């Protein structure tokens, strides 16, 4: 082939583009794929034409020329990966609808015998409608324009959850997927799933026998639910209450540990927080249990009463679970809440409950609490009881710096006590708040 003088490179790229197209027509996918990196560096309109061809290969897999033993959707998936690399070099993003459509087509191959053809077509149409566009004019009422599934399609999806949970979950995740918080959330489908879960929960507590697979369907549906950042609806509040009641019912087939594992993912963080809030409300609305040292003071603030009651529970696993839910619902770190509770007990000189609170996992916080609460002691006896409760019972694992500071405070108290015994006339030594401030500065 003759090349115009000085335009050999452009002619070579044009020839390579023709070879690339010929390979696609013959179905020689490996050879065509090998041409892509060099064509992306081409001149003129060649890169744009190649990009359009790659998008067509991904969007229309049924038009690909494949052999009997080659799946066109799988070939299209290979070209999807090629297109992703192409767009990454151009610093562009692949439209999410491309991947979601192709994932649906691949998944539908395994569901041909489980879902009727007309239902698959309806699901595909819903997926394609919901994958484009954003909320029009910022209208929060998505139900009025989000594509809806028929009741027959929702029923088929629920039956699939009972019979084949994993493929059904994958299909629902595609239908309910949000694109970085800007795509549709398919609220009608999610609301229908919530209604079906609540109906199944009522059936579990009823006298009639429950069809097989209902419990797995509940778990699978919970894994696919999406909770937005906006305020949650009444239906989700009722769902959490009914889930909690079902888990706490004696003889229920639902297991809370497995239920919580279904909610521990990013898209369901709001639902997990709501469940934790519901759990904390149900637990803390009961009167706090009496501790080994006596009753919990009714004068404590609600958070302090709740945390003290929780960690007075002889079952550590139950105490940690309830504390996690309680702090999650109040948007506080549990260590912060423990320190606040301990300081409240210290101010009220409730040393038996204070020792009970810091007796197990929180023992390493004892020396820190001595320094934080030292200035709140109102008498020499109060300071001695504080050190006896939190410092003298410490093991060798305590922080060395904090332990040395507390040892210094203990020595200072012994000096003060000796001075009081030797000279009752020195009443200035009894002005403990002033002495306490000096000690805190010296040893902290």
pLDDT at residue 299 in the model? 40
For residue 215, give every residue at least 6 positions away whose Cβ sits within 8 Å of its Cβ, in sequence order, or none. 204, 253, 254
Q: Quick one: which of 39, 38, 37, 72 has its CA closest to 58?
A: 72
Q: What whole-number distance in Å separates Cα of residue 182 and Cα of residue 132?
A: 10
Lowest average pLDDT, out of 46-50, 108-112, 130-134, 365-369, goes to 130-134
Of the candidates 329, 344, 337, 225, the residue with the CA atom closest to the CA atom of residue 282: 329
370 or 192, greater pLDDT: 192
Of 137-151, 185-199, 369-383, least confident by mean pLDDT is 137-151
**pLDDT exceeds cutoff 70 at 336:** yes
Tens digits of per-residue pLDDT, 3-23? 566 677 888 889 999 999 999
377 — pLDDT class (breaks 50, 70, 90): confident
Q: How confident is the model at residue 55 (pLDDT cuts 50, 70, 90)?
A: very high
pLDDT of residue 291 exceeding 60, the answer is no
Specify whether the CB–CB gap between 219 and 165 falls below 8 A.
Answer: yes
Specify the pLDDT at position 333. 81
Distance CA 235, CA 241 (A): 10
For residue 287, the model assigns a pLDDT of: 41
Distance from the Cα of residue 408 to its chain's centroid: 46
Q: Hey, where are the domains in the chain?
A: 8-94, 110-128+150-177+185-285, 325-427
At 292, the pLDDT band (50, 70, 90 cuts) reads very low
Least trusted range by pLDDT, from 132-146, 179-193, 370-384: 132-146
Question: What is the percent of the chain with per-residue pLDDT over 70, rounded to a whole number?
Answer: 73
Contact 344, 320 (CB under 8 A): no
Stretch 176-200: mean pLDDT? 72
**Which of the four pLDDT bands, split at 50, 70 and 90, describes residue 378?**
confident
Most confident of 100-109, 343-352, 381-390, 404-413: 100-109
Mean pLDDT confidence for 392-411: 63
User: Does residue 289 or residue 83 have the better pLDDT?
Assistant: 83
What pLDDT, on the 0 to 100 scale, is given for residue 217?
93
Mean pLDDT across 269-273: 84
The predicted pLDDT at position 197 comes to: 93
| pLDDT at residue 357 tops 90 | no
Q: Mean pLDDT across the chain, nearest whole number?
A: 76
Which residue did the predictor score with more confidence, 122 or 368?
122
CA distance 402 to 443: 9
Summarize pLDDT for 66-117 with one digit per residue, the tens. Answer: 766 678 888 899 999 999 999 999 888 888 888 988 999 888 888 878 899 9
User: Which two structure tokens, joined as six digits, stand for 318?
Assistant: 């139950």
pLDDT digits (tens, 9 = 90+) for 213-248: 899 999 999 999 887 655 667 888 899 999 999 988
Of the candidates 368, 199, 178, the residue with the CA atom closest to the CA atom of residue 269: 178
With 0.85 as the threshold, say if the pTM is over it. no
């Amino acid at each position: 082939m003759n090349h115009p003088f000085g335009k050999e490179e452009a002619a070579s790229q044009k020839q390579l583009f023709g070879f690339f197209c010929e390979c696609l027509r013959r179905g020689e996918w490996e050879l065509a794929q090998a041409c892509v990196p060099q064509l992306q560096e081409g001149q003129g309109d060649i890169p744009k034409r190649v990009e359009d061809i790659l998008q067509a290969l991904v969007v229309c897999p049924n038009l690909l020329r494949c052999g009997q033993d080659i799946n066109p959707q799988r070939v299209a998936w290979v070209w999807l990966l090629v297109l992703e690399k192409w767009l990454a070099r151009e610093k562009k993003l692949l439209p999410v609808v491309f991947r979601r459509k192709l994932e649906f087509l691949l998944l539908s191959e395994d569901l041909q015998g489980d879902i009727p053809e007309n239902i698959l077509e309806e699901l595909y149409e819903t997926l394609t409608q919901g994958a484009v566009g954003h909320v029009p004019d910022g209208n929060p009422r998505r139900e009025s324009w989000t594509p809806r599934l028929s009741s027959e399609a929702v029923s088929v999806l629920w039956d699939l959850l009972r019979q084949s949970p994993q493929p059904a979950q994958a299909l629902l995740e595609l239908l309910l997927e949000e694109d970085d918080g800007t795509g549709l959330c398919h609220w009608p489908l999610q609301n229908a799933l919530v209604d079906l879960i609540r109906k199944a929960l009522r059936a579990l507590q009823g006298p009639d026998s429950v069809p097989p697979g209902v419990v797995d369907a509940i778990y699978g549906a919970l894994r696919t639910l999406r909770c937005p950042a906006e305020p949650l609806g009444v239906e989700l509040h009722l769902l959490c209450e009914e889930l909690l009641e079902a888990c706490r019912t004696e003889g229920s087939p639902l297991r809370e540990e497995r239920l919580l594992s279904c909610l521990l993912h990013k898209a369901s963080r709001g639902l997990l927080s709501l469940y934790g809030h519901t759990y904390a409300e149900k637990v803390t609305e009961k009167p706090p249990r009496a501790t080994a040292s006596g009753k919990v003071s009714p004068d404590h603030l609600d958070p302090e009463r709740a945390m003290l009651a929780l960690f007075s529970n002889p079952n550590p696993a139950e105490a940690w679970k309830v504390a996690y839910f309680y702090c999650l619902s109040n948007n506080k770190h549990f260590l912060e809440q423990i320190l606040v509770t301990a300081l409240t007990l210290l101010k009220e000189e409730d040393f038996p409950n204070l020792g009970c609170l810091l007796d197990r996992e929180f023992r390493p916080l004892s020396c820190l609490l001595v320094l934080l609460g030292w200035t709140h002691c109102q008498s020499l006896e109060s300071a001695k009881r504080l050190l006896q409760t939190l410092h003298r019972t410490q093991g060798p694992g305590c922080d060395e710096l904090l332990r040395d500071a507390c040892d210094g405070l203990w020595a200072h108290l012994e000096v003060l006590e000796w001075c009081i015994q030797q000279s009752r006339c020195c009443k200035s030594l009894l002005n403990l708040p002033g002495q306490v401030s000096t000690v805190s500065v010296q040893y902290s």
